[in-house]
Structure 1
Amino acid sequence: MAEIYGYVRVSSIDQNEERQIVELSKRNVLPKNIYIDKQSGKSFERQQYKKLVRKLKKGDLLYILSIDRLGRNYLEIQEQWRILTKEKGLIYVS
């Protein structure tokens, strides 16, 4: 059965992710399925994002409120989009 996930990234520890979490909750994303990374764009390890990608299955639904959460530049965003939609086969909604 397909799952609904959400991904939240804020660029610094000082930024508040609450607005993104509230929006995901409105879309029926369960708290246990919301993955959050808090870090600067310079350090792009994104441990929670990596964990989320490993968990995704074909047909899952992923909410990301802004496509720029996928990367620091156009090429990174494009590569992550390819992985999510082509390799993982998930449904993406922004």
Structure 2
Amino acid sequence: MTKTLLYARVSTNDQNLEHQLSQAEAAGFVIDEVVADHGVSGVSTKLSQRAEGKRLYDKLRDGDILVVRWVDRLGRNYQDVTEAIRHFMKQGVVIRTVINNLTFNGATKDPMQQAVRDALIAFMAATAEAQAEAIKEAQKAGIEAAKADGSKYRGKKPSFTRQQYNVVCQMSAKGEGPTAIVNATDPVMNSEMNGKNASKLTRQTVIRIRNDPKGAAQALERWGL
């Protein structure tokens, strides 16, 4: 018995599994099963390497229909997307998209139709990768602009207080090791530390401050600490 599966990839907070399902149903698809990956990048992770995506390779059979909102749900890398679509078509699986109502079917034998189909697959996959690159460049430009502003980009909030930073620098100057510094900056062990705003430092944090005291101080300044 053939079945229709919806594959959804939800990689950001702006995306929503329920929305992708409702879009497919509104387009007239009757979905038998939903397979979804959450928090997975379509750029760096192949479909076959995702926790749920790789299940499609075992679940889909000849005559089944694989529905995706658009080909970017399969991936945002040209090679990965084209390989995935061609693999499923060889298995007799029909791939359909909700957006633009595209159909990729390996059953067609007409050379002209095959050429048009393959050209469309290549175009859509290339578009998905181009969009990913554009988004990445826009994000990079936004971060650089915010950094230049100085008042908007603060980076990750420091896991240490100004008082702990001072102790790390002072003890490091005296040649004290990371373990001794961790103990000295532990609010539980040292009542002079501010227990409300401070937490125990890790060795990695102490070493990071020691290796780049200027950068650590700048992080505190950016956060007004």
Quick check: TM above 0.5? yes
**What SS does the aligned partner of 2:92 have?**
coil
Q: AA paired with 1:5?
A: L
Q: Equivalent pairs: percent with the same residue?
A: 33
Q: What's the Cα RMSD here?
A: 1.6
Going from structure 1 to structure 2, the CA distance change for 1:4 and 1:23 (only over 3 Å counts) comes to same
1:38-64 deviation line (CA, Å, top 9, x unaligned) = 123165232111112211101101111
- CA shift, 1:21, in A, is 1.4
Unaligned runs of 5+ in 2: 98-225
- Map of 1:9 onto structure 2: 9
Number of paired residues?
90
- CA shift, 1:8, in A, is 0.4
Going from structure 1 to structure 2, the CA distance change for 1:55 and 1:40 (only over 3 Å counts) comes to closer
- Map of 1:72 onto structure 2: 76
- CA shift, 1:4, in A, is 1.0
Q: Compare the two structures and name the one with the higher strand fraction.
A: 1
Q: 1:93 is matched with which residue: 93, 96, 107?
A: 96
Q: Compare the two structures and name the one with the higher helix fraction.
A: 2
- TM-score, normalised via structure 1 length: 0.83
**What SS does the aligned partner of 2:52 have?**
helix
Q: Which moved more, 1:33-42 or 1:60-69?
A: 33-42
- TM-score, normalised via structure 2 length: 0.37
Bigger radius of gyration: 2
Unaligned runs of 5+ in 1: none
Higher relative contact order (CA 8 A, sep 6+): 1
Runs of 4+ in 1 over 3 A off after TM superposition: none
